[in-house]
């Protein structure tokens, strides 16, 4: 049965930012509407601006009107904002300011008869994480008589060293059991369903290994360019922004062993083992590229170097393709191909499992009997579902084969998939860390990609609106493979 959250105060540092406006407020409001959060609940938004509670509620109301997915009446929205939302400035972010935050939390707890249960959510620019973590810890906001949890948004560092420093700072004040590192990909229903697909369906799991699978492809395509994130993105690039976190999460869920139990630590133990088993990435197993101008969805778009906020001589990669080898008993010899990029042909997240062909073709004497290998495509967004390609006999004389597909689409069975943030916030409130990234997971992932961060990988170009450069095709051709047609 679903656990219900205890009464608590939910404190958002960065409570006036884009994430709060577009994701957190609508998710909190939706949980409240579903009755998941009771009346003894308060939100305290913290940022540097001076603002009254009333001004903050007006801002939040506009955000809900724009972004809440269920359209509640505006009276209902405003009642919720007036009863739940509060604002506190962090001013100069010195000790006195953190003490003022502490006093405000205590006052809200008294007012609403809430025990000392607190969630601190860091929806902040990464440069502000360290000062905020130590600021909270130094005024004793890391502990309480009830429970205290800390939610950290990505990025978790920008390399192994900074990730390790961030983890060390977190562990100075907080136990790992209190820390929830959010990778919003893990909140997606279809990503969580990978575990159900594999471990509730033995027909697939029994084939899920090097004996039956020839290769695995994970593609995360975006059609958007850098937009307003150029300042951040130009210093990050696709490897840091997408591969180290989201694609690596998908990789671990596809490749992990069955956990000993459906518990946060058992699952995360298995995910870490996958990352630790990946062999060092070879220099001929990586492609970095940057988009040139082109045409996406019928619209002409500029190249990366022409985007506002991008350095004119930037060599930041907006596309990455990788070939990974997992050196363990299950996967030795099976290439895992990962690719992601901006301004690609389609917005699509898909995992393709290519099974092996039959060892002998019984149908070889017939010219048109080229047997295609079975292929399972798991589409995680959009048009969520599965598609299993298999061979059938074409009716008529002779033994001519045709590939058909067995399909399942979420939209045919389920009306609407919940937003990932709603799932993740509910999990923080009920202390379920399964979908959050553990410290050793973050560091194992950085350890794997660290050698690619030195600038030694050349950056080629691709036309916007394509699936990337030809080098990405050659990466697979080296093994006689090719990217699935998406």
Ligand X SMILES: NC(=O)c1ccc[n+]([C@@H]2O[C@H](COP(=O)([O-])OP(=O)(O)OC[C@H]3O[C@@H](n4cnc5c(N)ncnc54)[C@H](OP(=O)(O)O)[C@@H]3O)[C@@H](O)[C@H]2O)c1
- Kindly report the CA angle at 29 between 154 and 380, in degrees rounded to 5? 50
Question: 3-state secondary structure string, 283-336?
Answer: HHHEEEEEEEEEEECCEEECCHHHCCCCCCCCCCCCEEEEEEEECCCCCCCCEE
DSSP tag of 462 = E
Q: Which stretch binds ligand X (CB under 6 A): 10-18, 187-195, 347-355, 477-485?
A: 10-18
Told to check if 121 binds ligand X by CB under 6 A, we report: no
Told to check if 153 binds ligand X by CB under 6 A, we report: yes
Closer residue to ligand X in complex, CB, 124/475:
124
Per-residue x/- track, 18-57, ligand X (CB under 6 A): xx--xx----------------------xxxx--------
Cα–Cα distances in angstroms (integers) from residue 429 to residues 1, 19, 211, in the given order: 15, 18, 42
Helices 160-173 & 129-138 angle (0-180, nearest 10) = 20
What's the distance, Cα to Cα, between the start and end of the chain in Å? 39
Closer residue to ligand X in complex, CB, 108/128:
128
- 325: which strand partners? 335
Closer residue to ligand X in complex, CB, 16/316:
16
Told to check if 164 binds ligand X by CB under 6 A, we report: no
Q: How many Cβ atoms sit within 10 Å of the Cβ of residue 203?
A: 6
Taking CB atoms, the residue at the shortest distance from ligand X is 17
Footprint (CB under 6 A) of ligand X, residues 288-327: none
- Percent helix, strand and coil across the chain, each to the nearest 5: 40, 25, 35
DSSP tag of 369 = -
Which of 8, 29, 246, 426 is flagged as catalytic?
Answer: 246
Least distance in Å: CB of 176 to ligand X? Answer: 20
Told to check if 90 binds ligand X by CB under 6 A, we report: yes
Least distance in Å: CB of 49 to ligand X? Answer: 4
Question: What residues contact 256, with CB distance under 8 A and at least 6 apart?
Answer: 267, 270, 271, 273, 274
Closer residue to ligand X in complex, CB, 12/429:
12
Candidate residues 68, 72, 93, 484; the one interacting with ligand X per rule CB under 6 A: 93
Told to check if 126 binds ligand X by CB under 6 A, we report: yes
Strands (E), 144-298: 148-152, 179-181, 213-221, 286-296
- Residue 171 is among the residues annotated as catalytic for this protein: no
Least distance in Å: CB of 240 to ligand X? Answer: 11
Least distance in Å: CB of 377 to ligand X? Answer: 27
Least distance in Å: CB of 46 to ligand X? Answer: 6
Closer residue to ligand X in complex, CB, 13/462:
13
Strands (E), 146-236: 148-152, 179-181, 213-221
Q: Which stretch binds ligand X (CB under 6 A): 7-15, 208-216, 309-317, 322-330?
A: 7-15
Least distance in Å: CB of 272 to ligand X? Answer: 23
Q: What residues are annotated to the active site?
A: 246
* Residues at the interface with ligand X (CB under 6 A): 13-19, 22-23, 46-49, 90, 93, 123-126, 128, 153-154, 184
């Amino acid at each position: 049965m679903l656990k219900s959250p205890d009464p608590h105060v939910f404190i958002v540092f960065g409570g006036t930012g884009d994430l709060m406006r577009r994701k957190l407020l609508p998710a909190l409001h939706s949980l409240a509407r579903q009755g998941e959060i009771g009346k003894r609940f308060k939100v305290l938004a913290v940022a540097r601006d001076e603002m009254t509670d009333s001004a903050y509620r007006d801002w939040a109301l506009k955000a809900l009107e724009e972004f809440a997915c269920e359209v509640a009446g505006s009276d209902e929205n405003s009642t919720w904002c007036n009863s739940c939302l509060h604002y506190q400035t962090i001013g100069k972010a010195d000790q006195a300011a953190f003490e003022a935050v502490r006093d405000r939390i205590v006052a809200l707890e008294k007012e609403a008869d809430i025990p000392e249960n607190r969630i601190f959510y860091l929806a902040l620019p990464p440069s502000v994480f360290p000062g905020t973590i130590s600021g909270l810890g130094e005024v004793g906001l890391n502990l309480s008589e009830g429970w205290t949890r800390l939610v950290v948004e990505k990025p978790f560092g920008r390399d192994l060293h900074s990730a390790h420093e961030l983890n060390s700072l977190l562990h100075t004040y907080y136990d790992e059991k209190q820390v929830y590192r959010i990778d919003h990909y893990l909140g997606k229903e279809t990503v969580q369903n990978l575990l159900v697909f594999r471990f509730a369906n033995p027909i697939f799991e029994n084939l899920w290994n090097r004996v039956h699978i020839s290769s695995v492809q994970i593609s995360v395509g975006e059609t958007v360019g850098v937009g307003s994130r150029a300042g951040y993105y130009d210093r990050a690039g696709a490897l840091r922004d997408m591969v180290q976190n989201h694609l690596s999460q998908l990789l671990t869920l596809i490749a992990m062993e069955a956990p000993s139990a459906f518990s946060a630590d058992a699952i995360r133990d298995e995910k870490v083992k996958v990352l630790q088993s990946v062999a060092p990435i070879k220099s001929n197993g990586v492609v970095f590229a940057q988009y040139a101008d082109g045409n996406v969805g019928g619209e002409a778009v500029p190249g990366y170097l022409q985007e506002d906020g991008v350095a004119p001589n930037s060599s930041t990669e907006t596309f990455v393709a990788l070939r990974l080898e997992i050196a363990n008993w299950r996967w030795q010899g099976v290439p895992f191909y990962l690719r992601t990029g901006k301004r690609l042909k389609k917005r699509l997240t898909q995992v393709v499992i290519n099974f092996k062909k039959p060892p002998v073709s019984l149908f070889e004497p017939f010219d048109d009997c080229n047997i295609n290998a079975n292929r399972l495509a798991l589409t995680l967004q959009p048009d969520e579902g599965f598609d299993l390609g298999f061979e059938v006999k074409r009716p008529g004389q002779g033994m001519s084969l045709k590939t058909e597909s067995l399909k399942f689409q979420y939209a045919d069975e389920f009306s609407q998939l919940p937003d990932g943030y709603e799932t993740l916030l509910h999990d923080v409130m009920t202390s379920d860390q399964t979908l959050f990234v553990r410290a050793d997971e973050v560091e194992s992932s950085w350890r794997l990609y660290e050698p690619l961060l030195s600038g030694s990988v050349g950056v080629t170009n691709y036309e916007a609106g394509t699936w990337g450069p030809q080098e990405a095709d050659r990466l697979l051709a080296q093994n006689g493979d090719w990217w699935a047609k998406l």
